[in-house]
């Protein structure tokens, strides 16, 4: 199993893995950062606790990029994972190999969805607030969502059935009444009309275009109407999300300072050097850039112009989504620009993750559910997970 | 030229809740083992999420209402970022954009009369931890017990102009917050802390002078001294050009009696506030608002007037009692039992308050039961226990607040005897033992009777109605 | 974006960047300027900010105490402790 920590001698048909943003009490949790090398948590992710209670067995921990903000995990302190010249995601590899039936992962900046799209897997990013974030290393709390990676839609459906629900330990957790809409037993109206968001197809390569065409064809064949729709506002989610995510990230990782736990620099003179040396030595480049960037957006001079503006843009985006959902049951869009990232591509653009999230930011900033299948993404209005999974089944051509 | 001092205060008050503001750790950190009231959340570990303690909002609202504020019915929390070892997550969750209470008014009274001080806002926030500097020479020790203990910060407008006014204002805040039972407000315990913003300008000018923010005053005395020192420093600078005044943060050194500019970092003050995504807005509906409104206490002045008009107390007595809500509670409970406001007030003022003074306790530290005091008063007025013994019982009640006066009197032989035979026997023995006293009394020396009376009372251990003893004594002597 | 601003941001975030990292950050900010121009086209004058995507209000908890974690466990991974305290180099106030 391609996990950095593995439980030995586990045999079950309900083996799952957790990515390294999920806190575990019997294995370390490091968020892919040297800062948390060997960190043992005293609390366990609520999602994991609920899964264990239903007989699921945690088989291991899958590596992530440092604080899960990168493309697929390439910024992990343990190094990037390449196979056949293409960047790979650890959790996706484990699930694709069949060593685990599913992975629960943090979708903070779309890495889980990209991993699913590029590995031919299914991912479900549920409606914000339906799965507790208790026991999850925080990145961008206003959008962080515990997500599921599996090789079929039914497994995603089984797992969300277990992990969705109110948790009093998470102040943003929704009521059981609302969460029950995600359950297997819930009634739902199926996806009949889909908006193909053409504004979101900028920059995709021929392979992704082919995936999108295949999805449209599969949906149309099964009687779903697909209509092309333009919306430039939703397509501007990326810059707004980059601001909000970086600012929240900057604040959330300020706690890692070499005092309470985690990495402490060998040499320092005085408290400020202890902080600065520890953080400088333990944090990677992309994280540092995001911290500096996020911090600047919150400065007194920029708060109204940048941060506050982006909070308002978020509402406009949510309203635009609502308009579309007035006419359509789901929105179809790409998940990434290409189906693999080469070593060269990554070396040439250190900020690719903050550009590739063009495709994932709309669902992140709005907290809407998204299902990736057949390499493409279906975004629905809140609590439409069941309908999305059923439509995704068609796209993934499952059961044929 | 004449100058006036312009002072605004930022007062931090620790709320008297059981648990912390966002986690369930105990909020009573004072005197506890270091880091014994700590969890992953309040020591900065990742993964736990803040869940708001209802009582903190209750108390925040209550404080706002007591200080005449408008209550924001939707109040939100924000994050304030800075690095310091007492702040484990490197951010403090506070209220920046929509504090719980705004635009209040507090009336104070000084030797110059009454004055209104405007309150800009009251916000709820979490406290920082404690740093201990004197365990090892090269090391600072960090204790997170106090981290996340709930605070309110009361920000005044710059409406104060002297140390006397500041003292009156702080005393008023303390009284009102204690009346509302939301906080202890004890500077010596750190449950009330105060930063002073001060500037000086020519009298009558409407332009504010250069402002200094003073920190680290740990007592009312220190605050007054700091204000006087700082005012003089500013005037000296303006008049004599001894220094160029700068807007700065200054630390008060109470031992040296001086303030010093604090070393400030280049980045000081850039706190990067933003709304906390983890705490949803706190919406105070009518039911919640009304329940807090209904729970507000009588204001001290209303209580005083009621004591005078309803209970018939004198103005002085009423003024004494309203000094502390603890005194009022004890008095009212005692009155409910003994049914005599005058007796209850007398016992409170001449006995209870003097024991507090003798024991160097503040009025607020009173924790004897008012009901028990009422019972004790009934024992005295019903001639069951003599006054001297009643005082002994009261003293015992201070040592052990669970004491029930009647049972205690019985157990300790303080119940007065109605057995006249026993009293007569004691009188007989005393008179026979001291024929000189009898002769003196008969010779017109009243004092001699009092000496005999005292001896008998002592023999009876005080357990005799003085009138009864006196009658029997005079009666017996007349027969000798 | 000036180098001076970067230096200030380094101080503010307790980080020290190499020259190439600074270039990297500057390049990132340069892209941000274009992004902001794009966002300015979206009219938000009449729009309220949206901090939380779900329009729910806080669910408060009752004021009860529970102590579920021991100091020993909390300090097990600490770089330096002494007599139950976390330790840092002397802080001068």
How many CB pairs (< 8 A) connect A and C?
A: 149
Three-class SS string for chain A?
Answer: CCCCEECCCCCCCCEEEEECCECCCCCCCCCCCHHHCCCCCCCCCHHHHHHHHCCCEEEEEECCCHHHCCCCCCCCCCCCCEECCEECCHHHHHHHCCCCCEEEEEECCCHHHHHHHHHCCEEEECCCCCECCCCECCCCCCCCEEEEEECCHHHHHHHHHHHECCCCCCCCCCCHHHHHHHCCCCCCCCCCEEEEEHHHCCCCCHHHHHHHHHHHHHHHHCCCEEEEECCCCHHHHHHHHHHHHHHHHHHHHHHCCCCCCCCCCCCCCCHHHHHHHHHHHHCCHHHHHHHHHHHHHCCCCCHHHHHHHHHHHHHHHHHHHHHHHHHCCEEEEECCCCCCCEHHHHHHCCCCHHHHCCCCHHHHHHCCCEEEECCEEEECCCCCHHHHHHHHHHHCCCCC
Q: Is A257 part of a structural domain of the chain?
A: no
* Cβ-nearest to C68 among B39, B56, B132: B39
How confident is residue A399, by pLDDT bands cut at 50, 70 and 90?
A: low
Q: Which positions in chain C touch A322 (Cβ < 8 Å)?
A: none
In tens, the pLDDT along B404-451 reads 999 999 888 888 776 777 888 888 888 888 888 888 888 888 888 888
Mutate to test the interface with C, among A177, A296, A297, A320 (most CBs of C within 10 A): A296
Same domain (yes/no): B131, B257: yes
In tens, the pLDDT along B281-314 reads 999 999 999 999 999 999 999 999 999 999 999 9
Same domain (yes/no): B90, B32: yes
CATH number, domain with residue B433? 1.10.10.410
Q: C89 and B37 in contact by Cβ < 8 A?
A: no
Whether the CB-CB separation of B459 and B426 falls below 8 Å is answered with yes
Q: How far apart are CA A206 and CA A197, in angstroms?
A: 17
Query: Phi and psi (nearest 5°) for B6?
Result: -115, 120
| Arithmetic mean of pLDDT, B443-470 | 84
The predicted pLDDT at position B457 comes to 85
Domain that residue A120 falls in:
5-241+304-395
Q: C65 and B19 in contact by Cβ < 8 A?
A: yes
| Arithmetic mean of pLDDT, A153-175 | 97
Same domain (yes/no): B162, B202: yes
Same domain (yes/no): B212, B322: no
Same domain (yes/no): B385, B425: no
Q: How far apart are CA B212 and CA B247, in angstroms?
A: 5
The predicted pLDDT at position B418 comes to 67
Q: Is A285 part of a structural domain of the chain?
A: no
Which of residues 34 through 63 in chain C touch A, CB cutoff 8 A?
35-36, 38-40, 42-44, 47-54, 56, 58-59, 61
Q: Is A287 part of a structural domain of the chain?
A: no
| Arithmetic mean of pLDDT, A332-344 | 96
Greater confidence, A18 or B443?
A18
Mutate to test the interface with A, among B272, B281, B282, B283 (most CBs of A within 10 A): B272
Q: Which of B326, B62, B25 is nearest to B182 (CA)?
A: B62
Q: Is A367 part of a structural domain of the chain?
A: yes
Q: Is B80 part of a structural domain of the chain?
A: yes
Percent of chain B at pLDDT > 70 equals 100
In tens, the pLDDT along A199-249 reads 999 999 999 999 999 999 999 999 999 999 999 999 999 999 999 999 999
Q: A42 and B83 in contact by Cβ < 8 A?
A: no
The predicted pLDDT at position B1 comes to 81
The predicted pLDDT at position B423 comes to 82
Interface check for A366 against chain C (CB to CB < 8 A): the answer is yes
Which of residues 243 through 272 in chain A touch C, CB cutoff 8 A?
243, 250, 254, 257-262, 264, 268-272
In tens, the pLDDT along A263-295 reads 999 999 999 999 999 999 999 999 999 999 999
Greater confidence, A162 or A347?
A162
- Paired strand residues for A226: A194
Q: Which of A335, A138, A390 is nearest to B41 (CA)?
A: A138
- In angstroms, what separates the C-alpha of B87 from chain A's closest C-alpha? 9
Domain that residue B167 falls in:
3-287
Q: How far apart are CA B259 and CA B124, in angstroms?
A: 29
The predicted pLDDT at position B470 comes to 86
Q: Is A288 part of a structural domain of the chain?
A: no
| Arithmetic mean of pLDDT, A307-325 | 97
- Paired strand residues for A370: A125, A379
Residue A37's contacts (CB-CB under 8 Å, 6 or more residues apart) are A28, A30, A77, A262, A263
The SS3 of residue B39 is coil
Q: Is B293 part of a structural domain of the chain?
A: no
Is pLDDT above 60 for A400?
no
Q: Is A250 part of a structural domain of the chain?
A: no
Interface check for C64 against chain B (CB to CB < 8 A): the answer is yes
- CA Rg value for chain A: 20
* Span between the terminal Cα atoms of chain B, in Å: 86
Q: How far apart are CA A330 and CA C7, in angstroms?
A: 46
Q: Which positions in chain C touch B282 (Cβ < 8 Å)?
A: 57-58, 60
Structure tokens at B475: 């009666």
Interface check for C48 against chain B (CB to CB < 8 A): the answer is no
Whether the CB-CB separation of A194 and A227 falls below 8 Å is answered with yes
In tens, the pLDDT along A119-162 reads 999 999 999 999 999 999 999 999 999 999 999 999 999 999 99
Interface check for A329 against chain C (CB to CB < 8 A): the answer is no
Same domain (yes/no): B79, B178: yes
* Cβ-nearest to C90 among B139, B265, B272: B139
Q: Is the CA virtual torsion B37, B41, B42, B44 positive or negative? A: positive
Average pLDDT taken over every residue of chain B: 93
Mutate to test the interface with B, among C50, C59, C60 (most CBs of B within 10 A): C60
Q: Is A38 part of a structural domain of the chain?
A: yes
For chain A, the domain total comes to 1
Domain stop point among B364, B386, B411: B411
Contacting partners of chain C (3+ CB pairs under 8 A): A, B
Same domain (yes/no): B241, B268: yes
Domain stop point among B232, B259, B287: B287
Q: How far apart are CA B390 and CA B405, in angstroms?
A: 8
Greater confidence, B461 or A36?
A36
Whether the CB-CB separation of B12 and B177 falls below 8 Å is answered with no
- Paired strand residues for B198: B7, B212
Whether the CB-CB separation of A339 and A216 falls below 8 Å is answered with no
Greater confidence, B434 or A261?
A261
Interface check for A276 against chain C (CB to CB < 8 A): the answer is yes
Same domain (yes/no): B368, B241: no
Interface check for B88 against chain A (CB to CB < 8 A): the answer is yes
Q: Is A256 part of a structural domain of the chain?
A: no
Same domain (yes/no): B231, B256: yes
Domain stop point among B362, B381, B411: B411
How confident is residue C79, by pLDDT bands cut at 50, 70 and 90?
A: very high
* Cβ-nearest to A239 among C10, C39, C51: C39
How confident is residue C93, by pLDDT bands cut at 50, 70 and 90?
A: low
Percent of chain A at pLDDT > 90 equals 94
* Cβ-nearest to C63 among B39, B55, B275: B55
Mutate to test the interface with B, among A41, A45, A139, A257 (most CBs of B within 10 A): A257
Whether the CB-CB separation of C50 and B280 falls below 8 Å is answered with no
Q: Which positions in chain C touch A239 (Cβ < 8 Å)?
A: 32, 35-36, 38-39
Whether the CB-CB separation of B373 and B352 falls below 8 Å is answered with yes
- In angstroms, what separates the C-alpha of B159 from chain C's closest C-alpha? 30
In tens, the pLDDT along B181-233 reads 999 999 988 999 999 999 999 998 888 899 999 988 989 999 999 999 999 99
In tens, the pLDDT along B110-166 reads 999 999 999 999 999 999 999 999 999 999 999 999 999 999 999 999 999 999 999
CATH number, domain with residue A328? 3.90.1300.10
* Span between the terminal Cα atoms of chain A, in Å: 29
pTM of the entire structure? 0.91
Mutate to test the interface with C, among B47, B98, B141 (most CBs of C within 10 A): B141
Q: A239 and C74 in contact by Cβ < 8 A?
A: no
Same domain (yes/no): B75, B197: yes
Percent of chain B at pLDDT > 90 equals 74
- Paired strand residues for B411: none
Q: Which of B86, B96, B187 is nearest to B127 (CA)?
A: B86
The predicted pLDDT at position A311 comes to 98
Strand order in the sheet with B78-81: B91-94, B78-81, B274-275
How many CB pairs (< 8 A) connect A and B?
A: 96
For chain B, the domain total comes to 3
């Amino acid at each position: 199993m391609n996990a950095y920590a593995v439980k030995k001698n586990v045999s079950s048909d309900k083996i799952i893995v957790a990515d390294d943003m999920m806190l575990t009490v019997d294995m370390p949790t490091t968020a892919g950062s040297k800062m948390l090398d060997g960190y043992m948590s005293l609390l366990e992710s609520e999602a994991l606790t609920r899964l264990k209670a239903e007989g699921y067995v945690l088989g291991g921990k899958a590596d992530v990029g440092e604080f899960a903000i990168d493309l697929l995990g390439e910024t992990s302190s343990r190094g990037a994972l390449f196979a056949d010249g293409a960047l790979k995601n650890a959790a996706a590899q484990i699930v694709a190999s069949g060593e685990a039936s599913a992975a629960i992962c943090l979708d903070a900046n779309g890495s889980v969805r990209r991993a699913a799209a590029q590995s031919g897997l299914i991912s479900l990013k549920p409606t914000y607030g339906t799965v507790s974030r208790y026991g999850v290393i925080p990145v961008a709390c206003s959008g962080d969502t515990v997500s599921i990676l599996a090789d079929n839609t039914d497994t995603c459906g089984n797992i969300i059935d277990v992990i969705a629900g109110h948790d009093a330990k998470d102040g943003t957790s929704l009521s059981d009444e609302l969460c029950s809409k995600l359950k297997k037993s819930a009634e739902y109206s199926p996806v009949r009309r889909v908006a193909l968001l053409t504004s979101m197809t900028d920059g995709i390569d021929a392979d992704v275009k082919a995936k999108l065409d295949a999805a449209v064809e599969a949906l149309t064949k099964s009687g779903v109407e697909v209509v092309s729709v333009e919306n430039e506002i939703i397509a501007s989610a990326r810059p707004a999300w980059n601001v909000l995510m970086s600012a929240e990230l900057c604040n959330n990782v300020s706690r890692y300072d070499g005092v309470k736990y985690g990495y402490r620099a060998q040499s320092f003179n005085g408290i400020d050097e202890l902080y600065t040396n520890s953080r400088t030595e333990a944090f990677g480049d992309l994280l540092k850039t995001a911290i500096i960037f996020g911090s600047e957006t919150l400065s007194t001079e920029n708060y109204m112009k940048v941060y506050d503006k982006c909070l308002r843009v978020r509402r406009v985006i949510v309203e635009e989504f609502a308009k579309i959902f007035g006419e359509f049951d789901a929105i179809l869009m790409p998940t990434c620009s290409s189906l693999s990232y080469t070593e060269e591509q990554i070396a040439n653009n250190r900020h690719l993750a903050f550009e590739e999230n063009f495709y994932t930011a709309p669902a992140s900033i709005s907290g809407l559910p998204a299902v990736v299948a057949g390499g493409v993404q279906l975004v629905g209005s809140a609590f439409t997970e069941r309908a999305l999974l059923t439509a995704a089944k068609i796209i993934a051509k499952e059961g044929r | 030229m004449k100058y006036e001092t312009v002072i605004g205060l930022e007062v931090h008050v620790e709320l008297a809740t059981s648990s912390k503001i966002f986690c369930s750790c105990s909020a009573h950190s004072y005197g506890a083992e270091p880091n014994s009231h700590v969890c992953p959340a309040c020591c900065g570990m990742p993964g736990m999420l803040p869940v708001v303690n209802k009582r903190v909002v209750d108390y925040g609202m209550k404080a706002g209402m007591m200080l005449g504020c408008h209550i924001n019915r939707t109040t939100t929390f924000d994050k304030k970022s800075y690095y310091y070892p007492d702040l484990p997550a490197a951010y403090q969750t506070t209220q920046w954009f929509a504090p719980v209470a705004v635009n209040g008014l507090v009336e104070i009274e000084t030797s110059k009369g009454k004055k209104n001080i405007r309150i800009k806002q009251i916000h709820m926030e979490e406290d920082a931890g404690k740093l201990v500097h004197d365990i090892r020479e090269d090391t600072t020790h960090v204790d997170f017990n106090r981290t996340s203990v709930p605070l309110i910060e009361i920000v005044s407008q710059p409406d104060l102009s002297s140390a006397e006014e500041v003292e009156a204002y702080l005393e008023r805040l303390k009284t009102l917050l204690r009346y509302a039972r939301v906080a202890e407000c004890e500077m010596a315990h750190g449950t009330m802390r105060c930063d002073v913003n001060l500037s000086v300008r020519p009298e009558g000018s409407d332009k504010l002078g250069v402002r200094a923010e003073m920190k680290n005053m740990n007592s009312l005395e220190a605050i007054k001294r700091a204000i006087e020192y700082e005012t003089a420093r500013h005037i000296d600078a303006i008049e004599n050009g001894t220094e160029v005044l700068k807007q700065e943060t200054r630390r008060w050194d109470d031992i040296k009696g001086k303030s010093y500019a604090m070393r400030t970092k280049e980045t000081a003050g850039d706190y990067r506030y933003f709304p906390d995504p983890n705490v949803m807005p706190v919406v105070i509906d009518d039911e919640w608002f009304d329940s807090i409104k209904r729970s507000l206490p009588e204001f001290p002045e209303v209580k005083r007037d009621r004591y005078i008009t309803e209970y018939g107390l004198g103005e002085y007595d009423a003024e004494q009692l309203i000094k502390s809500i603890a005194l009022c509670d004890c008095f009212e409970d005692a009155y409910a039992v003994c049914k005599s406001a005058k007796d209850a007030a007398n016992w409170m003022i001449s006995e209870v308050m003097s024991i507090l003074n003798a024991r160097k306790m503040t009025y607020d530290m009173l924790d004897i039961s008012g009901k028990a005091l009422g019972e004790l008063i009934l024992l005295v007025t019903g001639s069951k226990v003599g006054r001297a013994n009643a005082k002994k019982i009261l003293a015992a009640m201070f040592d052990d607040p669970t004491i029930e006066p009647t049972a205690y009197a019985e157990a300790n032989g303080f119940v007065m005897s109605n057995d006249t035979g026993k009293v007569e026997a004691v009188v007989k023995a005393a008179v026979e033992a001291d024929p000189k006293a009898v002769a003196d009394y008969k010779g017109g020396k009243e004092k001699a009777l009092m000496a005999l009376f005292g001896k008998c009372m002592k023999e009876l251990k005080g357990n005799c109605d003085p009138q009864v003893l006196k009658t029997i004594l005079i009666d017996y002597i007349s027969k000798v | 974006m000036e180098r001076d601003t970067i230096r200030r941001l380094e101080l503010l975030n307790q980080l020290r960047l190499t020259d190439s990292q600074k270039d990297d950050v500057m390049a990132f900010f340069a892209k941000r300027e274009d992004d902001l121009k794009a966002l300015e086209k979206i009219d938000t004058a009449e729009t309220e900010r949206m901090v939380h995507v779900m329009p729910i209000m806080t669910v408060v908890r009752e004021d009860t105490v529970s102590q579920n974690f021991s100091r020993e466990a909390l300090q097990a991974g600490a770089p330096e402790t002494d007599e139950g305290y976390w330790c840092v180099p002397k802080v001068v106030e």
